[in-house]
Structure 1
Amino acid sequence: MAYTLEQLRGFVAVAEELHFGRAAVRLKMTQPPLSRQIQKLERAVGAQLLVRDNRRVDLTAAGRVFLTEARRLLTLADAAPDLARRVSSGTSGVVRIGFTAASTYGILGRLLNELGRRLPYVDVDLAEMVTREQVAALAHREIDLGLARPPFDRDTFESRLLHREPLYVAAPAGHRLLALGRDVTADDVAGEPVVMHSPTKARYFYDLVAGVVPIPQEDIVHTVSQVLTMLWLAAAGRGIAFVPASAVRLPIEGVGFARLVTPVAEPVELHLLWAKESANPALARVLDVLDGFTVA
């Protein structure tokens, strides 16, 4: 037999007042129906919760334990309508965000701070994944929003440019490129050993760099997918690497940076990416908050 919220409220009132008359007044009802509520509740629970006689009312051991749980259930029940309204409006809920590793260099943290300030009741779940993985996760509704690199399928996804930045050359400390005192050109890096982006796992950066700097295959000494790995290899003297400007924030000892001359001043793009058919109300709120958001 199930019990009702009215029975729980009646029990809590009697347990706190330890008097049926005062509890009835508090609940704006008469004493007989309150007594019947408590009797039905005890039958439903299968245990005596109150000891009562003509002079006093007291809680049994079972009643004291049940009082704690009854208060918790009533708190949840009272909060449920407000929570449902907030979830429906998008001011509460969960948004799952996928991000590339390079987007954490000064961008992701500020974005999360903005969301935390403007949408305090929206929880954010994070998943690090390359753009290809984000696209698949969005298509399968495993994430709601991506911080990804173009291009995208415009029939399936909506996107919004979030950030642009230049390309830099990372080189071992003391390298001749760092002593030029100017931006580095494609001619300057000719013949240098290169730690290159993976053509499969980091296809965006691979294509971007290849479009600016023709790199013979024999000059590629390593192929990796993560910018941080590139910097450690450059610090070890394995070769130069081409990285987004945000990587300059990483305090890797033994690495210096010089801006690379490119046809477009800030060719590295990071986009917000989401599925057109998303039904998560909180995502719409997140996109509203991030409309116009910029990273200095």
Structure 2
Amino acid sequence: MALELADLRVFVTAASVGSLSAAARELRAAQPSVSERLRRLERLVGKPLLDRSNRGVSLTPAGARLLPHAERCLELADRALDIAREDDTQGTLHMTTHASYAQLAVPFVVSALRPLRYAVVVDDQHTPSALQRVAAGTTDLAVTLPMPHAHEVRLHAFRSEPVIAVCRPDHPLAAGPAQGSCDIAGLSGHPLAVNRWGTGADLFHEQLLDAPTRAHQLYEISSAETAADLARSGQAVAVLTRATVERDLAAAALVRLDVRDMPEWRVDLMLAHHRARAAEPAIAAVVAALTTERP
């Protein structure tokens, strides 16, 4: 019995939407057909992939191991058709990064690959998942935070970004008597949208709690762009990487606050790939660009 992409698509869809009936609607297929394809795949694997209950389906341990590889197989199959239709495309590079770093990482990778005529596909994952995908071979490159990783993964320094506090020019901290200068205690009296990543984040958070900061005025947000949006709308002071708001600062839509006692705080970003794949043209081109085109 051979593995069929249609079986993988049923499995991935069911895992995503949480039930076989919802998967049938998503795939515009009859539910008995969807159920039979899933049973067929489970017979081929030799283990259950989804636990069924009245509340829907959930991944078994075997299903959790299969899922990232099944997703990658479907991505490659879909992209293979596009490449076959576009005879000037040399290949596809699959890249994984968190949304907060995408605006730094994606333009850099696209620029490095332009001479090779590679398509670039990007997905959004936190660092632990991104590094696991690199080790498993289900993504080609990842831009991540530095953290412990499998021996198979090679990390290269990509960029080190300072974290700053910004607000609208008409915010009381910018327009008041202090004219943009304050301390952490001064910050704590206003709503804060904090993108809490990188070296210095925990110390800053401790200082905020000592200020003290009202819990209902502290928004910890994993997306730097969302924190920036709160600052742009005037709803909060944003604490985030400078690169996220460089255009806003240049256009004077936001201003940088001088927080006198703010600890040294940076977000160090790394480029990750599988060690065994270092010589592949697309990966080698991106790594080479680190030494010649690093932002």
TM-score of the pair, normalised by structure 2: 0.55
Q: Could you report, residue by residue, the CA deviation over 1:189-231 in whole angstroms, capped at 9, with x for unpaired residues?
A: 233322234xxxxx635x7423234223634443332112112
Aligned CA-pair RMSD = 3.4
Deviations along 1:82-108, whole A, 9 cap, x unmatched? x9xxxxxxx954321112223333553
What is the SS of the residue equivalent to 1:113?
helix
Match of 2:3 in 1: none
CA–CA distance in structure 1, aligned partners of residues 201 and 276 of structure 2 = 33
3-state DSSP of counterpart to 2:197: helix
Tell me the amino acid that sits aligned with residue 211 of structure 1.
L
Aligned counterparts, 1:121-136, within 5 A: 121-136=117-132
**Which has more radius of gyration?**
1
- The corresponding residue for 1:137 is 133
Unaligned 5+ segments in structure 1 are 1-82, 84-90, 198-202
Q: Which has the higher contact order (CA 8 A, sep 6+)?
A: 1
Q: 1:158 to 1:249 in 2, by over 3 A?
A: same
Instruction: Give the 5 Å matches for 1:56-205.
Output: 92-117=90-115, 120-153=116-149, 155-179=151-175, 180=178, 185-197=183-195, 204-205=197-198
Amino acid at match of 2:133: A
Q: Does 1:244 align with 2:241?
A: yes
Task: Give distance in 2, aligned partners of 1:107 and 1:284.
Answer: 14
How far apart are residue 166 of structure 1 and its match? 1.3
* 2:202 aligned residue: 210
Aligned amino acid, residue 224 of structure 2: V
Q: CA deviation at 1:277?
A: 4.1
| CA shift in 2, pair 1:135/1:241, >3 Å | same
Give identity over the alignment, percent: 15
Q: Which residue of 2 aligns with 1:276?
A: 275
Are the aligned partners of 2:166 and 2:237 in contact in 1 as well (CA < 8 Å)? Answer: yes
Secondary structure of 1:274's match?
strand
**Aligned residue in 2 for 1:71:** none
Residue 25 of structure 1 is matched in structure 2 by none
Does the 8 Å CA contact 2:185/2:208 hold for their aligned counterparts?
Answer: no
- State how far apart, in whole Å, the 2-side matches of 1:215 and 1:139 are: 37
- On the 8 A contact 2:277/2:283 being kept in 1, the answer is no
Looking at structure 1, the residues matched to 150 and 129 of structure 2 have their Cα atoms a distance apart, in angstroms, of 17
Contact in 2 for aligned 1:209/1:242 (Cα 8 Å): no
CA apart distance, 1:127: 1.9
Comparing both structures, which one devotes a greater share of its residues to helix? 2
Q: Secondary structure at the residue paired with 1:135?
A: helix
SS for the counterpart of 1:116 is helix
In structure 2, relative to structure 1, the CA distance for the partners of 1:136 and 1:153 (3 Å cut) is: closer
